[in-house]
């Protein structure tokens, strides 16, 4: 997966493999109090491609059990490796011009409404439940093309899916095609609701299978600082009824300058009265950009959780040091120290608030669809573009 998505980077394979060993798991439990581990199982490749990795993961489950850690099997959400599934032409989500939607290099987004894809997912989840996992975790839930973070739904920036299946369902419900609906504010609002119901219907199918087998189920709810209904096609409060926990992934690993922290997550939990356990996994800049975290950074993120209603989900892999990808190295750390509550609860400073205002509110009206679409394609599929434009990802998601 890493080789495909990130243009064949140099990987410390020994570091990756050792993370499943008994001694490694003993150490991270001693250091960080690990209770749950999300382990890779299915990455959106064809079965024959993934078999060797699946067999490896299954062979290591005994080590997690031995150390009292619940294992959640990771399955990629609605995107697949195009070369492995290019014969499934009807599966794929379409943009407003009928083109495929890129997820990452070599990967395309599939439509949550497609009945054949839903059948495929149901079979895959059923197979995963037959193994000795404690839960199933589905990553990267999105319905079609992402909305642009920080912008308002408008006719120039398409979001969602315009495939034949979606158009037939939407036409039956509203009497309009998706393209026509996008031309008016009222039409876009109808489509927002249609897209959300499509996502929830898909999640319910998976949730029912997992819960029928007596296992826990959760998904990645991304970053709630954005309008999740517009950007991803989800609603965290409505998702909660189908899940056993909520997991947020963001770029807010706290620092002492107070320009990054997770207290908005705490306010989100309180505002929406979330009752299920909440996990937060935070990056500094993102996958492929972060080197190993410092002891101080771990102290800060554990301190946040100590004084909040969420738990740390510590990133265990995909760190990059001197261009080498590796997993978390427990030998570099001591047990996190808890810092005083007063520092943790302070909000971001005024300069950061001004930056966000300029970034999202002033620039959003000048982001037409064709520029957005071309940017996503270029960024996902071209190595030089990824290197040149990496700073923009950091700016938008921070």
- Higher-pLDDT residue of 78 and 383 is 78
Could you list the residue range(s) of the whole structural domain that residue 18 is in?
2-397
Compute the distance between CA of residue 72 and CA of residue 136 in angstroms, rounded to an integer.
Answer: 5
Query: Reduced to 3 states, what is the DSSP secondary structure of residue 324?
Result: strand
Q: What tens digit of pLDDT does each residue of 214-230 get?
A: 999 999 999 998 889 99
Q: How many domains does the chain have?
A: 1
Is the pLDDT at 36 greater than 70? The verdict is yes
Least confident range from 148-152, 240-244, 254-258, 317-321: namely 148-152
Residue 245 in contact with residue 215, Cβ under 8 Å?
A: no
Q: How high is the pLDDT of residue 133?
A: 98
Reported as a single tens digit per residue, the pLDDT across 46-88 is 999 999 999 999 999 999 999 999 999 999 999 999 999 999 9
Which residue do the tokens 């382990």 mark?
39
pLDDT at 236: 96
Give me the chain's average pLDDT, please. Answer: 88
Average of per-residue pLDDT across 239-255: 95
The encoded tokens of residue 291 equal 């080197």
pLDDT of 347 strictly over 80: no
Quick check: 345 and 263 in contact, CB under 8 A? yes
Whether the per-residue pLDDT at 343 is higher than 80: the answer is: no
Proportion of the chain above pLDDT 90, given as a percent: 70
Domain with residue 28: its CATH number is: 3.20.20.80
Looking at residue 105, what is its pLDDT? 83
Task: State the DSSP code for 175.
Answer: S
- The whole-number average pLDDT for the span 99-118 is 94
Q: Which of 71-80, 258-267, 348-357 has the lowest mean pLDDT?
A: 348-357
- Which of residues 138 and 376 earns the better pLDDT score? 138
> Using an 8 Å Cβ cutoff, are 17 and 49 in contact?
no
Predicted local confidence at residue 158, as pLDDT: 87
Question: Which residues, other chains included, contact 353 with Cβ-Cβ below 8 Å and sequence gap of 6+?
Answer: none
Q: Is residue 164 scored above 70 in pLDDT? A: yes
Averaged pLDDT for residues 251-268: 88
pLDDT number for residue 141? 94
Stretch 344-349: mean pLDDT: 51
CA-nearest of 317, 239, 250 to 279 is 250
**Residue 277, helix vs strand vs coil:** coil
Distance separating alpha carbons of residues 382 and 373, to the nearest angstrom: 14
In this structure, are residues 276 and 235 in contact, taking their beta carbons and an 8 Å threshold? no
| Separation in Å, CA 347 to CA 258, 312, 319, 342, 361 | 7, 19, 28, 11, 20
State the average pLDDT over residues 356-367. 51
Nearest alpha carbon to residue 389 among 289, 307, 284, 317 = 289
């Amino acid at each position: 997966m890493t080789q495909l998505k990130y243009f064949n980077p140099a990987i410390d394979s020994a570091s990756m493999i050792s993370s499943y060993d008994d001694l490694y798991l003993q150490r991270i439990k001693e250091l960080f109090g690990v209770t749950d581990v999300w382990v890779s199982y299915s990455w959106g490749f064809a079965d024959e491609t993934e078999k060797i990795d699946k067999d490896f993961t299954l062979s290591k489950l005994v080590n997690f059990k031995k150390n009292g850690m619940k294992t959640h099997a990771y399955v990629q959400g609605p995107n697949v490796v195009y070369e492995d599934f290019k014969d499934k032409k009807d599966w794929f989500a379409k943009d407003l011009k009928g083109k495929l939607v890129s997820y990452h290099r070599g990967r395309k987004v599939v439509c949550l409404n497609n009945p054949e894809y839903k059948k495929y997912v149901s079979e895959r989840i059923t197979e995963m439940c037959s193994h000795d996992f404690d839960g199933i975790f589905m990553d990267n839930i999105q319905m079609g093309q992402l909305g642009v973070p920080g912008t308002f739904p408008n006719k120039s920036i398409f979001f969602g899916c315009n495939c034949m299946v979606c158009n037939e369902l939407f036409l039956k419900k509203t009497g309009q095609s998706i393209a026509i609906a996008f031309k008016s504010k009222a039409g876009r609002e109808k489509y927002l609701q249609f897209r959300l119901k499509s996502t929830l219907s898909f999640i319910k199918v998976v949730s029912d299978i997992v819960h029928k087998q007596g296992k826990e189920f959760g998904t990645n709810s991304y970053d709630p600082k954005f309008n999740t209904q517009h950007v991803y096609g989800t609603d965290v409060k409505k998702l909660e009824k189908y899940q056993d926990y909520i997991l947020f992934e963001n770029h807010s690993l706290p620092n002492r300058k107070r320009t990054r922290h997770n207290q908005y997550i705490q306010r989100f939990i309180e505002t929406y009265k979330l009752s299920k356990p909440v996990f937060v996994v935070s990056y500094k800049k993102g996958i492929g950009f972060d080197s190993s975290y410092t002891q101080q950074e771990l102290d800060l993120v554990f301190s946040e959780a100590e004084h909040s209603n969420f738990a740390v989900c510590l990133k265990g892999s995909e760190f990059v040091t001197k261009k080498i990808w590796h997993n978390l190295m427990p030998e570099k750390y001591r047990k996190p120290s808890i810092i005083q509550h007063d520092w943790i609860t302070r909000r971001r400073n005024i300069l950061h608030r001004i930056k966000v205002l300029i970034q999202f509110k002033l620039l959003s009206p000048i982001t037409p669809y064709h520029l957005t679409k071309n940017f996503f394609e270029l960024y996902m599929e071209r190595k030089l573009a990824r290197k040149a434009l990496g700073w923009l990802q950091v700016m938008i998601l921070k």
